[in-house]
Amino acid sequence: MDTCVVVLTIVLAIGCCVQASAVECVIAPDGMAVVDGTRTFILGLYENPKEDAVLKRVAEAGFNLVRASADRASLDRLDARGLWAWINTGMAIDFSEDSSARTARLKEMAQQFGPHPALLVWEVPDEALWNCWYIPQGWRWDREPAMLTEKIKALGDAARQARLRKMLGRSNALRLAGDYGASEDLADRIWKELGETSPRPEVRVSTAPERSRKMAFGMRVGYELLRSTDPGHPVWMNHAPRNQIAQLARFNQAADIVGCDIYPVPDTGTVRHSDLGDRRLSAVGAFTDRMQAAAPGKPVWMVLQGFGWGEILPERPEEVRKELRQPTARESRFMAYDAIVHGARGILYWGTAYLDRTTPFWDDLLALIHELHGLRPVLSAPDAQVNITCAMEETFGSVDVGIRMLAKDVDGKLWIIVVNEWTSPLKGSLSGLDGMEGKTFIEITRGTPQTVQDGKLQVSLADYEVQVLAEQ
């Protein structure tokens, strides 16, 4: 793939037949989408609200991309609001199994929906790589041991019970030691000892690497067919906040745009959404970096938290669910800008379908999107060719993350987005502004001026604060 310019012209394309289309999209060298000649920062929503009034607010707030179901009515409804859409191909794009039927289904989808003026992006199955691991983990590590425990308990022979409990304990010990294959073999033996057949003997954590490689290859073949059949629509792949860079890179060959979902609020340890050492809000930036490392030269769109964990975990006790709160407006704003300063070219929100629309969080999220929409000339502008660094003042904390900046060139004016990724206030001076002596920058939300002195700007940020500095 040419990493200089990936041209993704949105056209009506069925096989070799190409017709004119209502929208044209190009991915610029820096990963920004260019739609109908306009550089466009993507603001996406995973929910296509059923209520027209809610969809109206979504459009008015500034969302520009909404997930659609695979039907024309869904696309028509979004098009009427001036919104672009993406459709998930489901397993039709994975040719590792049932390739004939899936080939037919994928071509049918391209023929049926590719010509629609609302369609901007195809999506592959969500978190496909992670599910190669997660699905067998759920069976082998949770449900199967519980089932075997109950079956052993129901035996009338005490000696047999003791022997099978010992075998199950050994199976669990092998799993905890990382010997997944031996653990699963022993679990299968227990089923036989019980006179039964394992309900899912083929579902094994130990074979997840093999399955993931097979799926990655199958999706790459399906991706190539889709791109040759419908060459105008880019393919988007969302990952879970898991897996190693090499695994992610293997799957990313089947996509033009990549990203992952990361939902770190609240940081209580109750919800283990990611397994990085950093589980604070700054994990958003860390995972943005990981996605870029796993897909060099490709745009990264990050999926952020549009819900509270308590709303999607109804099986948890009420007292636990109350603690699993929604992000505050300040936290949501930080996470959005943290993804941006780490290089994301789009942000999308998942989980809003679970919200009570009267919750302040929904209004806060729409207000944030409205703010970002208002900054679209800045967010979509080229990164400024300046080398700005920050020298932080000494403070009491360890500060393993700190002040992060992104400079934008907006029609010859310099804008600097600054975020404090640390959990306490930080002060510092931004260097690299030589030649701008005496220039004034305004922080747009407060209207406070700051003047460049000795090639530096002084900044002071509270924990998780965002500042947007505009050259006057």
Q: Residue 406 belongs to a domain with what CATH number?
A: 2.60.40.1180
Whether the pLDDT of residue 20 is over 80: the answer is: no
Same domain, 302 and 421: no
What's the total number of domains in the chain?
A: 3
Whether the pLDDT of residue 10 is over 60: the answer is: no
Q: DSSP H helical segments within 114-207, as ranges?
A: 128-137, 144-153, 158-176, 180-193
Q: Rounded to an integer, what distance in angstroms lies between the CA atom of residue 418 and that of residue 469?
A: 8
Same domain, 203 and 252: no
pLDDT value of residue 1: 38
Whether the pLDDT of residue 140 is over 90: the answer is: yes
pLDDT value of residue 15: 35
Say if 4 falls within a structural domain.
Answer: no
Question: pLDDT for 409-427, tens place per residue?
Answer: 999 999 999 999 999 999 9
Return the number of other C-beta atoms located less than 10 Å from residue 387's C-beta: 10
Whether the pLDDT of residue 13 is over 70: the answer is: no
Say if 111 falls within a structural domain.
Answer: yes
Q: What is 73-123 written as a DSSP string? A: HHHHHHHHTT-EEEEE-GGGG-TTSSHHHHHHHHHHHHHHHTT-TTEEEEE
Mean pLDDT score, 92-109: 97
Whether the pLDDT of residue 384 is over 80: the answer is: yes
Question: pLDDT for 400-413, tens place per residue?
Answer: 999 999 999 999 99
Same domain, 65 and 78: yes
Say if 2 falls within a structural domain.
Answer: no
Domain end call among 329, 348, 379: 379
pLDDT value of residue 316: 87
Say if 441 falls within a structural domain.
Answer: yes
Percent of the chain with pLDDT over 90: 89
Same domain, 400 and 375: no
Mean pLDDT score, 326-345: 98
pLDDT value of residue 11: 27
Crossing angle (nearest 10°) for helices 180-193 and 144-153: 30
pLDDT value of residue 24: 76
pLDDT band at 434 (very low <50, low <70, confident <90, very high): confident
The CATH number linked to 278 is 3.20.20.80
What order do you get walking across the sheet with 448-451 strand by strand? 403-410, 413-420, 466-471, 440-443, 448-451
Same domain, 243 and 324: yes
Q: Rounded to an integer, what distance in angstroms lies between the CA atom of residue 356 and that of residue 326?
A: 12
pLDDT value of residue 14: 31
Mean pLDDT score, 154-179: 97
Whether the pLDDT of residue 318 is over 50: the answer is: yes
Same domain, 28 and 80: yes
Same domain, 176 and 271: no
- pTM for the model stands at 0.93
Instruction: Give the structural domain span for 448.
Output: 389-471
Same domain, 145 and 122: no
Mean pLDDT score, 40-54: 97
pLDDT band at 16 (very low <50, low <70, confident <90, very high): very low
3-state secondary structure of 141: helix
pLDDT value of residue 19: 37
Say if 200 falls within a structural domain.
Answer: yes
pLDDT value of residue 21: 54
pLDDT value of residue 3: 30
Going by DSSP bridges, is the β-strand pair 346-350/301-305 parallel, antiparallel, or unpaired?
Answer: parallel
Q: Rounded to an integer, what distance in angstroms lies between the CA atom of residue 328 and that of residue 330?
A: 5
pLDDT value of residue 8: 28
Whether the CA torsion 276, 90, 365, 418 is positive or negative: it is: positive
Tokens of 285: 């930036």
Higher pLDDT, 24 or 201: 201
Whether the pLDDT of residue 182 is over 90: the answer is: yes
Same domain, 232 and 367: yes
Same domain, 249 and 369: yes
Domain end call among 379, 412, 429: 379
Say if 288 falls within a structural domain.
Answer: yes
Same domain, 123 and 151: no
pLDDT band at 231 (very low <50, low <70, confident <90, very high): confident
Same domain, 361 and 412: no
Say if 3 falls within a structural domain.
Answer: no
3-state secondary structure of 232: coil
Q: Rounded to an integer, what distance in angstroms lies between the CA atom of residue 5 and that of residue 24?
A: 15
Domain end call among 171, 193, 209: 209
CA atoms within 13 A on the CB side of 458: 7
Contact in structure between 361 and 265 (CB atoms under 8 Å): no
Percent of the chain with pLDDT over 70: 95
Contact in structure between 426 and 395 (CB atoms under 8 Å): yes
Say if 101 falls within a structural domain.
Answer: yes
